[in-house]
Chains A and B, each alone.
Chain A
Amino acid sequence: KAGVTQTPRYLIKTRGQQVTLSCSPISGHRSVSWYQQTPGQGLQFLFEYFSETQRNKGNFPGRFSGRQFSNSRSEMNVSTLELGDSALYLCASSLAGTGSTGELFFGEGSRLTVL
């Protein structure tokens, strides 16, 4: 069974631009979460989607947004990029909602460099 697929794997942007990252979860998984990983801050939770609804959001500015489609695929968008947005963005999928044991299955990540 195919794993979590994230595209693009690498990208370079300049300050002020915007970026959209895509994530296709494991087939049958309806929950998709996004995390930002940086050397200084570690793994920080961005948001979680379940059945096209955002049900949890981390402490990030409004420049960070996301959505989930009816096929469970998800995108996240970062507008007005800043140098500090340079990071590895990880998408993770999980089987179900309330009552699930909650292990996440991660993609390989999208490495964003902001110049």
Chain B
Amino acid sequence: AQSVAQPEDQVNVAEGNPLTVKCTYSVSGNPYLFWYVQYPNRGLQFLLKYITGDNLVKGSYGFEAEFNKSQTSFHLKKPSALVSDSALYFCAVRDLNYGGATNKLIFGTGTLLAVQP
């Protein structure tokens, strides 16, 4: 079964410090991986995706993610955290059980990022 795991319920970081939000995946093929962010009482906003190509993917708001096939990881990173980055972050993988004929995503449980001023 395909899945993603976010091992940390919450990550605390001081403003200006680098941040990492962890994600590992389990798929039976080449993964399509995504990161989304959710602010309180809002929908999810797309941050970035990995389909193929460079292992370092750059996305919105200065975020980037590193795809590591050997470690089956797709960690989200930012060099310098802002208080406004405080939100709930979700890692997701596209469900490949349907031969590509679906846009269904399987989401992790989410990681709450708290950036202290």
Contacts and interface: CB of A to CB of B under 8 A. Distances in A.
Contacts of B42: 108-109
B57 to A, nearest CB: 12
Given A48-B102, A106-B44, A108-B43, A42 B110 contact: yes
A42 B46 contact: no
A55 to B, nearest CB: 6
Question: Which applies to chain B's interface (DSSP): helix, strand, loop or mixed?
Answer: loop
Contacts of B108: 42
B104 interface: yes
A103 B49 CA distance: 8
A42 B95 CA distance: 17
A43 B90 CA distance: 9
Interface residues of B, number: 27
B103 A102 contact: yes
A73 to B, nearest CB: 17
Given A45-B104, A56-B104, A103 B46 contact: yes
B101 A106 contact: no
A43 B46 contact: no
Contacts of A56: 95, 98, 102, 104
A1 to B, nearest CB: 14
Nearest to B94: A102
For B44, B46, B49, the residue with the greatest tally of chain A CB atoms inside 10 Å of its CB is B44
Contacts of B106: 45
Contact of B43 (A42, A45, A99, A106): A106
A16 interface: no
14 contacts: A42-B108, A42-B110, A43-B90, A55-B102, A56-B102, A90-B43, A92-B44, A98-B99, A101-B32, A103-B49, A104-B44, A105-B46, A108-B43, A109-B43
The 6 closest A-B pairs by CB, nearest first: A106-B43, A43-B107, A106-B44, A94-B103, A102-B103, A108-B43
Interface of A: 4, 6, 31, 33, 35, 42-43, 45, 48, 55-56, 90, 92, 94, 97-109, 111
Interface of B: 32, 34, 36, 41-46, 49, 51, 90, 94-95, 98-110
